[in-house]
Amino acid sequence: MSLQVEPSKHTSESIEDLIKLIKERIISTPKCLFCDHQMDPLGKIDHLNSSPTTIFQFNFPKIKSAYLSDHMEYSDKILKKRKKDEQRFKKGLDSKEIIFQHVTSIFYILREKSFKWQDLKRNPHMLVLYQFFNELKDYYHTLVLLKKSSFFEQQVSAFKAVIKVGRLDIFEYLWSRCIPVDLENTDKTIKQRVLEIQFASTIRNNLQSFVVEGAVHNRMDIVKFLLDTTGYQGKLNDAFIASPKSGNLEMVKLLSARSEQSKHSSKVFDNAAAAGNLQVIEWLVANRPKKELKESDMYKGAIIGGHIDIVRYLLSNESIHRSVSAPYYALAANNVEIMKLLHQHNFESHGVTPHKAIANNNLEMLIWIKENKTDAMFPDCLIEMAIENSNLEIVRWLTENTTTMATKRAMDLAAKLNNLEMLKYLHFNRSEGCSKMAMDHACELGHFNILEWLHQNRSEGCTTYAMNNSAKNGHLQILQFLHVNRTEGLTHRAMSNATDLEVIKFLHFNTNEHESVQEPLDAAIKNGNLDIIIWLCENIIERCSTPTLEKVMKSNYSHIIEWFTLNRPEFNIYRTTYTDNL
């Protein structure tokens, strides 16, 4: 079944709107693109009965305009048959046919992965996630008949996918495929029976990981099936330790009763604190061995997780070991409130330095450290750290409230980061100044406003790297400004590294450092840039060198070879010689 759409032209805005609408449809209101059903984060949905030709993996990145612009022309060609009417465009989003017609081009723009139906139906993991149960049965049946060993390669992943989506019925079906193994069935070949034994062995060897997965995702029915129906007698310590992540006290109780004490059992307390589940923590404290409680470090999980209520509980319980690293955890977690709470309970501020507060862009934490930690050191690197984060507020506070110094690198860095406000503040409020690298950085990176300001307000100037690198990176406006307003000049590297035609023209007509045109010609041949080749050959190069002709012969661009064949006699002579030698 297909949807016929009248041919029409579309502007680049059309594809932007399409991507925006698809992104909103999937992320803002999670609905299936194939039907109108709600979809949970794991993709659990009731799809249409008919099998689509393609399936999405619902994991969209943040769309960058650069990606769209790069492929706008390509996408317009792909979508030229779409109606110009925007209303029809939006209606098309509700049609699975129109989406599937263009899924490849859409995901090409988004730099995301898509699955074709023929690939999806051979992937049991994805069949489970998107709940194509009938297709999953067909997959197993077909592969067994074909006696393919690939039948077993993705089984562990498929079982875990079933646990994630919480489908006990599918899990029971998968289990029935491997247990029991009928060795007396003479209708099966020896290879089939060997493969079934391998399948059963693979699954049984991973039962512990299945229980862990079930505990983490709070799949009580599947965990009980594994423990009661399969006859699993293995260790459950890992599952018990992970069980607080389920948020279900009954899961913790079940696995606690069936697990043995081990040297890592104390981590169950840590996971409970990290999950922020006070009910589970209280039960563990009351029912697990005191040794486990003593060896635990619940402060870390609670603080890193930002669970201040759990931290208060830990502080109120004298039987719980107080971690000397708790203030450092609060600093690492960027949590001022927990830091203050720990300070009120007389925790020593071990490892608490201004560096981490600045790295986290947390001025409030920085002020607290200054006011409450008398031995805190404010070394000279802090201002540059704040500049790297483009945090003018912290730079201003450090300047006004501490004696920390900076170096010329501070202004150089602000120029490199194209931060004009930071540059102005350092210029008017500090005395370190900058180096020639400030202007060099601005020119190299195309920061014209920074270059202009430095030229008008500072006297350090620049080096020949300024013109060389602006030419290399195609910053014509900066190159012109430097040529008119500065005297540092350039070297032959400017022309040899240039890859932009307008830059090459400017250098040729306005400077004396243009002897080396071989390198830009070679680069143009390598990159297939015919415009530069034509201009260089018509205006500068009278005869191409043998190394250049050799590069043309080895070029991957047919239009480059064609042009040299039609326009450069020396190339035809070289080509004849080259062919004869071969």
CA of 551: how far to CAs of 539, 561, 573, in Å? 20, 10, 15
Q: pTM for the whole thing?
A: 0.68
> Rounded to 5 degrees, what are φ and ψ at 548?
-65, -45
Inter-axis angle of helices 363-372 and 392-401, to 10 degrees? 20
Tens-place pLDDT, residues 58-80: 333 333 444 444 444 444 444 44
**Domains of the chain, residue spans:** 1-120, 407-499, 517-582
- CA neighbor of 250 nearest in space, from 225, 201, 296, 215: 215
Level-2 CATH architecture, domain 407-499:
Alpha Horseshoe (1.25)
- Where does residue 214 rank: exposed (0-12), middle (13-18), buried (19+ CB within 10 A)? buried
Question: How far apart are alpha carbons 185 and 163 in whole angstroms?
Answer: 31
Tens-place pLDDT, residues 519-536: 888 888 888 889 999 998
Q: From first to last of the 582 residues of the chain, give the pLDDT tens digit.
A: 333 333 334 444 555 555 555 555 444 444 443 344 444 444 433 443 333 333 333 333 333 444 444 444 444 444 444 444 444 444 444 544 455 555 555 545 444 555 566 666 667 767 777 667 777 777 766 655 444 545 555 778 888 888 988 889 888 888 877 655 554 555 556 666 666 677 677 777 788 899 999 999 999 999 999 888 877 777 889 999 999 999 999 999 999 998 887 778 999 999 999 999 999 999 999 999 999 999 999 999 999 999 999 999 999 998 898 999 999 999 999 999 999 999 999 998 878 999 999 999 999 999 999 999 888 899 989 999 999 999 999 999 999 999 999 999 999 999 999 999 999 999 999 999 999 999 999 999 999 999 999 999 999 999 999 999 999 999 999 999 999 999 999 998 898 888 899 999 999 999 886 666 788 888 888 888 899 999 988 888 888 888 888 888 888 888 888 888 888 888 777 777 656 554
